[in-house]
Amino acid sequence: MEIWRINVRSKTFTREEVPADWRQLGGRGLLAKILLEEVNPVCHPLGPGNKLIFSPGLLVGHMLSSCDRISIGAKSPLTGGVKEANAGGSTGLILARLGIKALIVEDISEDSDWWIVHVGIGGVRFDPANDLIGLGVYESAQSLRERYGGKVAISLIGPGGEMCMAAAGIQNLDKDGVPSRIAARGGIGAVMGSKKIKAIIWDGTGADKPSLAHPQAYWEAQKNFTRLLLEQKTVQTYHDYGTAAMTMVCNAFGSLPVQNFSQGNSEDAEKISGELMREVILQRGGKANPTHACMAGCAIQCSNVYADSKGEEIVSPLEYETISLMGSNLGIFHLDDIARMNWDVNDLGLDSIEIGAALGVAAEAGLAEFGNSGSMMNLLAEIRKGSPLGRVLGNGAVVTGKVFGVLRVPAVKGQAMSGYEPRAIKGTGVTYATSPQGADHTSGLTIRAKVDHLDPKGQADLSRSAQINMAGFDTLGACIFSGSGFAAAPEAIRDLLNARYGWEVGTDILQVLGRATLSLEREFNRRAGFTPADDRLPEWMSMEPLPPHQSVFDVPNEDLDGVFNW
Amino acid sequence: MEIWRINVRSKTFTREEVPADWRQLGGRGLLAKILLEEVNPVCHPLGPGNKLIFSPGLLVGHMLSSCDRISIGAKSPLTGGVKEANAGGSTGLILARLGIKALIVEDISEDSDWWIVHVGIGGVRFDPANDLIGLGVYESAQSLRERYGGKVAISLIGPGGEMCMAAAGIQNLDKDGVPSRIAARGGIGAVMGSKKIKAIIWDGTGADKPSLAHPQAYWEAQKNFTRLLLEQKTVQTYHDYGTAAMTMVCNAFGSLPVQNFSQGNSEDAEKISGELMREVILQRGGKANPTHACMAGCAIQCSNVYADSKGEEIVSPLEYETISLMGSNLGIFHLDDIARMNWDVNDLGLDSIEIGAALGVAAEAGLAEFGNSGSMMNLLAEIRKGSPLGRVLGNGAVVTGKVFGVLRVPAVKGQAMSGYEPRAIKGTGVTYATSPQGADHTSGLTIRAKVDHLDPKGQADLSRSAQINMAGFDTLGACIFSGSGFAAAPEAIRDLLNARYGWEVGTDILQVLGRATLSLEREFNRRAGFTPADDRLPEWMSMEPLPPHQSVFDVPNEDLDGVFNW
């Protein structure tokens, strides 16, 4: 494999050998390594010093179930710290097949032209993109697929990324060519926009699967892993209901964000449940089964296609994070409304978590009305126009709170919390507080642990182990949902890696990778100026009791500061 | 003297003895001490945990020339760190006469009513202020003077503070009752707004001068100090031209901010010079001499009253910082235009430095046109309306840059630079970078030192000594311009303090106080999460050469990190 570099100022391209100490990393871990070695931690995230890096995880390239994710990273415009966001779809697979261990986009372009970067077996080419500027993600993707054919993978930004909004992500095509797989968090879409790249075309024509050191051993390990994965109960749940299964789970725990994180449950929760969603989809006979896969080869198939009453697709997929942040968090308990808002946010190329949180803060400031989806759609229209109000919202919940003087902002390190109330699921609160990524459930969700989630004791230990595992999975390119399979069989990761790369790693490789990744990330953040003062939930969450349990976040600071003592 | 405390939630008031280890501090030093002991450094600046503190400096109360300043502090909504802003006028004098060493305003009020706090010899009273809300500073002050009589001192906020804008300051009356003395920087007006206090009336009726331990010695020291002060050449310059004398000095050094800090000089500089301003004022026969005093007893009298061609006052005073930040920095080289914008910003109760910088960033984003004062006045009108755009601007240059994706933002620790380009006056650049207050010339201006200001060598030493002295002056309540008097006679400070308090301090007391103050401030910031990464100028200033010297900021990081090693 190789490292590819693109300079957007000179429009040049180089290929390099992989440095020896980068080889045992991939995905999130490799991003952290490269950022630490090559990016000045105090540089401006939208300036020439930042780099946008694409790296498939270590297991990517062989259509292992749920293990072909692409990690995209940069210094975050949202948090000012290290950032990795990952996505399913076809991007990771094609990078791995092109033999690209990491593609690093450098510098900024100061002319006014926009570009499409075509990446193929022969190298890199810059094609003009000015005609796509201002178009939404869906229309842009369609136009690009017409131009480059239906087999390419694409990473692209929408108007949000073009306007360098800190809530902008990078969309990727799913296996069916729909640009729905967003590497959403932390504003990496704004970094792509600052480099004047509208889209990257990943053209796998002529490329092969990555080589295997021990093919027979690999296939056996693969078979074993898939079998174990499908035996897991949670996998069946996600297969049937998608992530929306979490609505009623969270409501039961009192950890569903309601009305800008002012309540933890709602009597209307059933109206936005996964169970209801499944029924509705089946009734309406949309274009797909209740669930389908985002990546080729995925056995879980947690994705869905949500259609309106005439059977016309509104959005795909409709996920729990959007349902909670743009639904209950805004007092909206109608799946059709949420689906329409979701489409809009996707089309803008923005993170539905960050925007949902920003709209909640805006509603608190009186700019929209909780429960009134029309007023929320109006705010999304402001974002599309790029009006001053729209630009505030597009920069996320913290900026919105700052501009409008709202104190109840659910965010850590500048990044909004996702759909798990940290006062009710305190281990996840520890993750929000301490993750180098900023508040993010995918950095270490603890809700499935069999503990009293309201008891502050032991939550730091729970978060530590979840964070290590997740950093490991993100370095492998493995979806969070494959975790249950791997948890049941840690030897599967060892066997897959050893068979593919000819390594001799042990069963603790997941934790080895996770700890290495977290250490690199924390070092980057330390140099960027982060301290224990940044590893805290916002003050109001320790003062304002959350119904129904009237709980506050009370994990002691010493516990938070001990999370990374391993 | 005593410590007075007000709780705005319970509307209660207490008086306490001064704790022993607070006694040898006052003004800026005492604010830092109180913030460090009583305010959680990671609290929300607009939340119940923050405190707004008024403290006169150690020398305040006897109408020593230029030594009756009031220091006002809190955790800053702009920087997130420690904050002291000071002002002349009559506030400091009356606090000292009321025997108040510090008045501490605690908690927040969550009801919708606004209050006037009346502070007199008998204690504290809350009067309703709802009728003043939305009124500008000038109209509010007039109404308050009608209500409370012409002899009270007043600290008040304008619409900016009411809207909790992070660029909001607190205005104080000058000796003639004009609300022009703003403790401008760092958003302390927003803290006052968050506590729902529109104004504090400082009523000195029945109060006496602070007692003197050794009256005779005090009067001799005072006479000596005044004589020395008036002998200084710079004092004469400020007497004749006000701070506007700096326009041509900075232009000559190439350190005049022009068009959002993209140039260091301009062929139009003379049109905004102190020399021209003096001529214009004399010609137009405004209501005052070219200069007058802001505080009773001041021998320097640097202030002025700027009138229009009909002799009607436009604004008083018109100072260099406003001339540079709202003039040359916006490409505006017409004193009448600058004076009108200055009045508007004063009336809004906002910091003209922060707003000037924010308008420069906004112009860079295409929201106004450099050189077009009408387009800038339109933006000020947006602030008054409290529109989303106005709220962005009112939150300062960094938020404006973030929202509109502008990289060239002249700020450190979230606070905009003042009228000295740090690439041309590098010692002041070191001060901007490292001061615990954020970018601020009053924390340690170096332009008068006889050194090569373009040479990075030795600038850290220069800044260190300037920062120590200024922290000392701010703790004494002494105006920056009295510094030249004290510099010529450090024994004057010793003699004044010993005679007033019966202490036995030495001639190094200025530095002792300065170092103590800076150490307290840095400790607060450290706990708030500041690190050496925050002690840096923005990256672009080390890359983008500044005409006419084509200089970049190149003081090494090691020098910056050594500033506080004394």
DSSP A546-558: BTTTTB-----HH
CA distance A12 to A104: 12
Nearest residue on chain A to B406, alpha-carbon basis: A46
**Do the Cβ atoms of B403 and A392 come within 8 Å?**
yes
Nearest residue on chain B to A389, alpha-carbon basis: B388
**CB-based contacts of A134-142 (< 8 A; 24+ apart in sequence):** A134/A159, A134/A162, A135/A159, A136/A347, A136/A348, A136/A349, A137/A171, A137/A179, A137/A346, A137/A347, A137/A348, A137/A349, A138/A179, A138/A346, A138/A347, A139/A347, A140/A179, A140/A198, A140/A199, A141/A171, A141/A173, A141/A177, A141/A178, A141/A179
Question: In chain B, what residues touch A44 (CB-CB under 8 Å)?
Answer: 407, 538-540
In sequence order, what are the residues at sequence separation of 6 or more whose Cβ sits closer than 8 angstroms to the Cβ of residue B352?
B184, B321, B322, B325, B326, B342, B345, B346
Question: Which of A40, A395, A532 is nearest residue B403 as measured by Cβ atoms?
Answer: A395
Question: Which of B387, B528, B539 is nearest residue A533 as measured by Cβ atoms?
Answer: B528
**Do the Cβ atoms of A388 and B403 come within 8 Å?**
yes
DSSP run (H or E) holding B503: none
Question: Which of A47, A165, A531 is nearest residue B407 as measured by Cβ atoms?
Answer: A47
Q: What is the pLDDT of residues B447-459, one digit of tens each?
A: 999 999 999 999 9
**Do the Cβ atoms of B41 and A533 come within 8 Å?**
yes
How far does B501 lie from chain A, in Å, by closest CA? 39
Question: In chain A, what residues touch B534 (CB-CB under 8 Å)?
Answer: 529
pLDDT of B335 reads 97
| CA dist B453 → B432, B450, B552 (Å) | 15, 8, 12
CA distance B515 to B512: 5
Q: Is the peptide bond before B317 cis (omega within 30 degrees of 0)?
A: yes
Question: In chain A, what residues touch B46 (CB-CB under 8 Å)?
Answer: 405, 407
Question: In chain A, what residues touch B166 (CB-CB under 8 Å)?
Answer: 402
Radius of gyration of chain B (CA): 22
Q: Strand locations in A2-110, DSSP E? A: 2-7, 12-17, 52-56, 70-75, 82-87, 100-106
**Do the Cβ atoms of A403 and B403 come within 8 Å?**
yes
Per the prediction, chain B carries an average pLDDT of 95
Look at A63-67, A136-140, B213-217 and tell me which has the smallest mean pLDDT: A63-67
Look at A30-44, A442-456, A488-502, B226-240 and tell me which has the smallest mean pLDDT: B226-240
Q: What is the pTM of this model?
A: 0.96
Q: Is the pLDDT assigned to residue B521 strictly greater than 90?
A: yes
Q: What is the pLDDT of residues B334-382, one digit of tens each?
A: 999 999 999 999 999 999 999 999 999 999 999 999 999 999 999 999 9
Residues across chain B: 566
Residues across chain A: 566
Q: B47-82 burial, b for 16+ CB within 10 Å, e for fewer?
A: bbbbbbbbbbbbbbbbbbbbbbbbbbbbbbbbbbbb
Which of A163, A389, A402, A525 has the most B C-beta neighbours within 10 Å, making it the best mutation to test the interface with B? A402
The domain A2-202 is placed in CATH, from the list 3.60.9.10, 3.50.50.60, 3.90.650.10, 1.10.10.10, at 3.60.9.10
Residue with tokens 């501009």: A403
Q: Is the pLDDT assigned to residue B485 strictly greater than 90?
A: no
Question: In chain B, what residues touch A407 (CB-CB under 8 Å)?
Answer: 44, 46-47
pLDDT of B155 reads 98
Which of A398, A403, A535 has the most B C-beta neighbours within 10 Å, making it the best mutation to test the interface with B? A403
**Do the Cβ atoms of B42 and A528 come within 8 Å?**
no
Residues from B in contact with A at Cβ < 8 Å: 40-44, 46-49, 163-166, 190, 194, 387-389, 391-392, 395, 399, 402-405, 407, 526-534, 536, 538-540, 543
Residue A375, both tokens: 């007023």
Question: In chain B, what residues touch A530 (CB-CB under 8 Å)?
Answer: 529, 531
pLDDT of B290 reads 63
**Do the Cβ atoms of A529 and B528 come within 8 Å?**
no
Question: Which of B44, B407, B533 is nearest residue A41 as measured by Cβ atoms?
Answer: B533
CA distance B246 to B321: 9
pLDDT of A289 reads 61
CA distance B357 to B320: 14
Amino acid at residue number B286: G
pLDDT of A286 reads 62
Nearest residue on chain B to A49, alpha-carbon basis: B539
Amino acid at residue number A268: D
Q: What is the pLDDT of residues B140-184, one digit of tens each?
A: 999 999 999 999 999 999 999 999 999 999 999 999 999 999 999
Nearest residue on chain A to B50, alpha-carbon basis: A539
pLDDT of B292 reads 79
Question: Which of B194, B399, B531 is nearest residue A529 as measured by Cβ atoms?
Answer: B531
As a whole number, mean pLDDT of residues B257-284 equals 95
Residues from A in contact with B at Cβ < 8 Å: 40-44, 46-49, 163-166, 190, 194, 387-389, 391-392, 395, 399, 402-405, 407, 526-534, 536, 538-540, 543
Residue with tokens 């190439």: B254
Question: In chain A, what residues touch B391 (CB-CB under 8 Å)?
Answer: 392, 403-404
For chain A, the domains span 2-202, 224-561
How far does B432 lie from chain A, in Å, by closest CA? 16
Alpha helix (H) ranges present in A20-121?
27-38, 91-97
**Do the Cβ atoms of A403 and B402 come within 8 Å?**
no
Q: Is the pLDDT assigned to residue B321 strictly greater than 80?
A: yes
Q: What is the pLDDT of residues B526-552, one digit of tens each?
A: 999 999 999 999 999 999 999 999 999
As a whole number, mean pLDDT of residues B491-505 equals 96
Q: What is the pLDDT of residues A500-544, one digit of tens each?
A: 999 999 999 999 999 999 999 999 999 999 999 999 999 999 999
In contact, B73 and B35? CB cutoff 8 Å: yes
Model confidence at B279, pLDDT cuts 50, 70, 90, reads: very high
B334-B339-B344-B350 Cα dihedral, nearest 10 degrees: 100
Nearest to B185 by CA among B41, B75, B83, B70: B83
Question: Which of A164, A166, A539 is nearest residue B47 as measured by Cβ atoms?
Answer: A539
Nearest residue on chain A to B409, alpha-carbon basis: A44
**Do the Cβ atoms of A402 and B166 come within 8 Å?**
yes
Nearest residue on chain A to B539, alpha-carbon basis: A43
Which of B194, B382, B391, B402 has the most A C-beta neighbours within 10 Å, making it the best mutation to test the interface with A? B402
Which of B164, B526, B531, B542 has the most A C-beta neighbours within 10 Å, making it the best mutation to test the interface with A? B531
Pairing state between β B415-416 and B411-412: antiparallel
**Do the Cβ atoms of B407 and A40 come within 8 Å?**
no
Residue B236, both tokens: 């004469």
Question: In chain B, what residues touch A532 (CB-CB under 8 Å)?
Answer: 529
Q: Is the pLDDT assigned to residue B235 strictly greater than 90?
A: no
Q: Which residues pair with B201 in a beta bridge?
A: B118, B154
Q: Is the pLDDT assigned to residue B484 strictly greater than 70?
A: no
pLDDT of B288 reads 60
**Do the Cβ atoms of A47 and B540 come within 8 Å?**
yes
Q: A391-422 burial, b for 16+ CB within 10 Å, e for fewer?
A: bbbbbbbbbbbbbbbbbbbbbbbbbbbbbbbb
As a whole number, mean pLDDT of residues A6-16 equals 97
In contact, B124 and B5? CB cutoff 8 Å: no
Residue B110, both tokens: 């969550």
How many A×B Cβ pairs under 8 Å?
95
Question: Which of B42, B392, B536 is nearest residue A42 as measured by Cβ atoms?
Answer: B536
Q: Is the pLDDT assigned to residue A234 strictly greater than 90?
A: no
How far does A392 lie from chain B, in Å, by closest CA? 6
Question: In chain B, what residues touch A194 (CB-CB under 8 Å)?
Answer: 405
Question: In chain A, what residues touch B160 (CB-CB under 8 Å)?
Answer: none
CA distance A433 to A413: 8
Q: B15-35 burial, b for 16+ CB within 10 Å, e for fewer?
A: eeeeeeebebbbbbbbbbbbb
pLDDT of B545 reads 98
| CA dist B396 → A143, A393, A401, A434, B133 (Å) | 40, 17, 14, 29, 22
Q: What is the pLDDT of residues B22-79, one digit of tens each?
A: 999 999 999 999 999 999 999 999 999 999 999 999 999 999 988 999 999 999 999 9
Max CA distance (Å), chain A: 62
What percent of chain B has pLDDT above 70? 99
**Do the Cβ atoms of B539 and A391 come within 8 Å?**
no
| CA dist B246 → A436, A486, B110, B250, B275 (Å) | 46, 69, 45, 6, 10
pLDDT of A539 reads 94
pLDDT of A287 reads 62
Task: Please state the φ and ψ torsions of residue B74, each to the nearest 5 degrees.
Answer: -175, 175
Nearest to A222 by CA among A493, A27, A511, A503: A493
Whether ipTM tops 0.90, in short, is: yes
Fold of the domain built from segment(s) A224-561: 1.10.569
CA distance A143 to A137: 10
The 8-class DSSP code of residue B541 comes to G
**How far from chain centre, in Å, is Cα A392?**
22
Helix (H, G, I), strand (E, B), or coil: what is residue B456?
A: coil
**Do the Cβ atoms of A539 and B42 come within 8 Å?**
yes
